[in-house]
Amino acid sequence: MYESFWGNTEQVAQSIAKGLSAHGDVELFEVSQAPGEITEPLDLIVLGGPTHAFSMTRASTREDAFKQGASQGSKDVGVREWLQHLHRGRHAETVATFDTKVEKVRHLPGSAARGAANAAHKLGYKSVVKPMSFYVQGTSGPLLDGELARAQIWGERLGRAAFERAAN
């Protein structure tokens, strides 16, 4: 499940899903279209979004994205809000989180992926891998060269770890 305003995070999510699909069934949802309630057991939940103001998006940062020309996503629902409705550890034992960040602030603290992982941990979910960041050139992108290939490889590794763990 992902949120994206410029299409960069969506592209990363699609590449991760492609890598994951080598190891099991994958469903990909934009956060505002994601099921409000998960009714089936899942092996893994993967969450991703852009880093805004050093963490997951908020209503105010999403509004700012649209003021800057974003044409995708939702002003009302982001990963942060979706996680607030996720039931405590009932549907999957594991999560993995990723984000997109502007490359020039790569070394600054803060990450939507780490924020989402921390929120999921508070609900009783365990991360199968450490949070991962993928980089864009500027606010609206594009993704840096090689990031989509790196995302697919990460998805393959993630799928191997998650689905082998579920099989045991």
**Torsion angle, CA of 77/69/8/137, rounded to 10 degrees?**
-130
With respect to residue 3, please indicate whether it lies within any of the assigned structural domains. Answer: no
Quick check: 79 and 128 in contact, CB under 8 A? no
Answer positive or negative: Cα dihedral of 97, 103, 105, 106: positive
With respect to residue 1, please indicate whether it lies within any of the assigned structural domains. Answer: no
**In the prediction, which pLDDT does 42 show?**
83
Mean of the pLDDT values across residues 53-78? 96
Query: Residue 81 CB: number of other CB atoms within 10 A?
Result: 18
* Model confidence band, residue 164 (pLDDT cutoffs 50, 70, 90): confident
With respect to residue 81, please indicate whether it lies within any of the assigned structural domains. Answer: yes
**pLDDT tens, 101-158?**
999 988 888 999 999 999 999 988 889 999 999 999 999 999 999 999 999 999 999 9
With respect to residue 2, please indicate whether it lies within any of the assigned structural domains. Answer: no
How would you classify the pairing of strands 45-50 and 94-102? parallel
With respect to residue 74, please indicate whether it lies within any of the assigned structural domains. Answer: yes
pLDDT for 39 beyond 80: no
* Model pTM above 0.85: yes
With respect to residue 138, please indicate whether it lies within any of the assigned structural domains. Answer: yes
**In the prediction, which pLDDT does 99 show?**
98
| Number of domains comprising the chain | 1
**pLDDT tens, 78-95?**
999 999 888 765 556 789
CATH number at residue 46: 3.40.50.360
135 DSSP assignment: E
Quick check: 127 and 97 in contact, CB under 8 A? yes
In Å, how far are 98, 110, 125 from 9, measured between CA atoms? 9, 17, 23
- Domain of 110 in residue numbering reads as 8-167
pLDDT for 168 beyond 70: no
What percent of the chain clears pLDDT 70, i.e. is strictly above it?
A: 95
